[in-house]
Amino acid sequence: MAENTPVIRRTVTENRPYIVELAESPTSQILVNSNRQLLPAIRDANPVNSDLRIGGLIDINNTQQKIKQLESRLQATEVSNRALIEDVILLQNDLAISLRRSLDTLNEEKSARLILENNYKFQNEAMLQLNGRLKRTEDLLQQDRNAMQSMIMYTRNLEQSLTNAQRDLFVRKEFQAKRLDELKIQIDEIQFSKERLELNANSLIEEIKILKNKVELEAINLNSIGGDLRNKTRRLEDETRQHMEVVRKQQDSMAITENNISALKIQLAHKIEEVKNLNTDVKNKIDSDREDRRLIEQQINSKLYELKSIIEDEKQRHIESTRSLESLKRELYQNLEIERNRINSIVSDVKESALASANDKTEKNKEEFNTKFREIERILQGETESLSKYYQNLKESTEHKIENFKRILEDEILNYRNETKTFSSKTTDSIKKLNEGLTLIELHNEESKRRFEKVINAEISSRKLAEKDIQDKLEGYNDKLTSSNKTLQTTINNLTSRLNEIKDQYVTRKDFESLEKKHVELQSESVQNNLKISTLKESLSNQTIIQEQNTSKLKKHGDLISQIENVRIPLLEDNIHKLPSKDDLANFKIETEEKISEEIVRIIKQNDIQHSEIKKMAEDRLDELNTQLSNFNNKLTQKINNTDKTVKDQIALQNEFQLKTMTTLKDETKKAIQNYDEKNKEDLETLEKKFLSSQQKNELLQITSKEEMMNNIENLKRDVNKKIDDQNLKLKDTKNDNEKELLQIKSKLEKCERNIESIINVSKYIQLKK
């Protein structure tokens, strides 16, 4: 203020004019040339007119003082105008800073939206990858099933080859009784093993029923969880409706943003309809899944009943086949005894006729023949004993193998039970973890909603207060500016009138021109000030509009957050459904039941095939026995006829003929014995080779099937563990994303609070300046 105050410097020297100077200021610099008035010196004037000149100078000084007072007033008004302009510039700077901050917040929100979109895309890609893996696992399971079927066909072919080899074994008459006894023993063992398998099958069926009950309980729990989630979504919808009603009440008071509110209402209505449609679709899917599960359970029950009926029919068939075999065995024994008696009677008749014809010589021949026949019988007995030992060893080895196979089956069943128990425990743990995570997410969302609502309400109230303060300040500024303009115009009019009065007497043309220029400049400055005031008003109106837009955007963001939460809840439901659900467990159960039923059917078919093969063997053997007996009878009749002819025709040459016949018989018996031994050895070697090859093939098949089963089980375990781990990771990612979003929202709210505080501080500063 000291720099802008006018200072009068008077210099009175000889032969120098009387000069009045003013201190230079931003407004007084314009009047520098006009304020310097050159007056004539006092000493050069005449003494007569000196008094008049002194009086004129006094008047001029008075007018100059008045002009200076006016200038000081003008300078004071300029200072006030400058202060106002500085305040307006500060407000403009604050508005620019708030605009920049709002733009920064908008950019951050855009980046957050992009992050959310990327997260959703990543989740969708992960779900697609999981679906691909599931399809791959299904394809692998189908390949395994096809391989198992091919292995079963291969084993059936091997069994047929073994049965064909067994047909070749049963050739001789002497081993029929022993083999039939062995077959009885084997049938008893097979019945015992079948009973064991039936018991194991019944135990497996009971365990499957227990698993069914557990799966149903888990399904009930999942349905209860789904109901809780639906209730929570309904509560969230009710809360959003209540908030919308509050927002509508607030929006009724705001007449400026009616168009935006109507658009928001339409968008929210569309989104609410979409959410309702999603809920209806989810309900329809759940109902359809329930119906499918019920149909699958009915099919499973029907299949179980069919399997039971098939097993009972096969039991009856087995009993009938055993009875028919026993009847066949009895008939065989009876026929053999009749044929033996007949052969003995024929031999006795032949012996009597030979004894009657040749007494001494026949006795000698008989003794020799008996001795040789005894030797042959001893040899045959030794061979029969060796064969019986060999067959006993084969029996023992087969029994050991059967026991080992049963032990392996029991171990596999136990491992399968343990794996099912571990899998069920893992599923229960994962479901518990998911429930805990859902509860935490719901609590977190509720807290974030409450905080967000509190912050929004506080921001709305603070912005309303700030708008009211700004409007009051603008009105005060407008009143002040109008009053200052009025005072300026009155002062300018007074000055113009005064100047017009004084112009003719004391003011020169140059001074008048300078005063006119000053007046024009003052008018231009007033116009510029009015323009600045109008621009400030426009900027303040734009700022209010921007603030309203920011409030609407914040509301939109709140709605978007609520919508995102409403969308996340069905996504979580989808993740829960994508866990090992009731359908997956039912499918797994169906597969296990199918495998068990296939094994049972395969065993029953094997037993049927064995029984049918035994029947065929017995029939073939009967046919062979009948053919052999007929041949033997023909030979005996031929020999009897030949002996009768020789006795009648060549009694004289009986000794020589007997010698020849004995030699021929010896040679024939030796050849027959040698041929018999060679045939037995070859047959036994071929049978041993076939049996060993079949054993090796069966062992390889068992080993490969076991390895494949173990590999499949391990792959299934790995896939299930991977699915559970992926789901846990997804839940963790969603939790982290939610936490990040909440932190971003908190940071944005803090920035908004800072902006509001800065606006409040500016308003306080303006009030203090007022």
Residue 337 C-beta-side C-alpha neighbours within 13 Å: 6
Q: What is the mean pLDDT of residues 238-262?
A: 64
Whole-model pTM over 0.95: no
pLDDT at 24 over 50: no
- Has residue 279 been placed in a domain? yes
683/387 Cα distance (integer angstroms): 12
330/323 Cα distance (integer angstroms): 11
Q: What total number of domains does the chain contain? A: 1
Confidence of residue 136 (pLDDT cuts 50, 70, 90): confident
Structure tokens at 145: 């099933």
In tens, the pLDDT along 193-228 reads 667 767 766 776 777 677 677 767 766 776 776 677
350/663 Cα distance (integer angstroms): 20
150/347 Cα distance (integer angstroms): 58
Confidence of residue 46 (pLDDT cuts 50, 70, 90): very low
- Has residue 443 been placed in a domain? yes
Residue 46 C-beta-side C-alpha neighbours within 13 Å: 3
Least reliable range by pLDDT among 64-73, 115-124, 200-209, 347-356: 347-356
Residue 21's H or E segment, with its range, is: strand 19-21
Sign of CA dihedral 573, 578, 579, 583: positive
740/734 Cα distance (integer angstroms): 10
Residue 456: which residues within 8 A CB-CB, separation 6 or more? 554, 555, 558
Q: Which residue has the tokens 């076991």?
A: 706
In tens, the pLDDT along 57-99 reads 777 777 778 888 888 888 888 888 888 888 888 887 888 887 8
CA-to-CA dists, residue 582 to 212, 427, 469, 592, angstroms: 10, 11, 63, 15
502/60 Cα distance (integer angstroms): 10
- Has residue 67 been placed in a domain? no
In tens, the pLDDT along 447-457 reads 766 776 777 67
Angle at 116 between CA 113 and CA 119, to 5 degrees: 150
Domain residues for 412?
A: 96-477+551-769
Residue 79: which residues within 8 A CB-CB, separation 6 or more? 1, 4
Least reliable range by pLDDT among 9-18, 352-361, 559-568, 705-714: 9-18
148/754 Cα distance (integer angstroms): 72
Average per-residue pLDDT for the chain:
65
In tens, the pLDDT along 297-314 reads 777 677 667 766 776 776
Please tell me which of 1-5, 359-363, 418-422 the model is most confident about, judged by mean pLDDT. Answer: 418-422
pLDDT at 41 over 60: no
- Has residue 398 been placed in a domain? yes
- Has residue 27 been placed in a domain? no
How many CB atoms are located within 10 Å of the residue 211 CB?
Answer: 19
Q: What is the mean pLDDT of residues 118-142?
A: 76
450/442 Cα distance (integer angstroms): 12
164/149 Cα distance (integer angstroms): 22
Sign of CA dihedral 93, 95, 97, 103: negative
In tens, the pLDDT along 567-606 reads 555 554 555 455 445 566 556 656 655 665 566 566 556 6
Strand partners, 19: 11
Q: What is the mean pLDDT of residues 701-719?
A: 60
Please indicate whether residue 334 or residue 658 has the higher confidence score (pLDDT): 334
- Has residue 388 been placed in a domain? yes
Burial of 98 (0-12, 13-18, 19+ CB in 10 A): buried
745/112 Cα distance (integer angstroms): 10
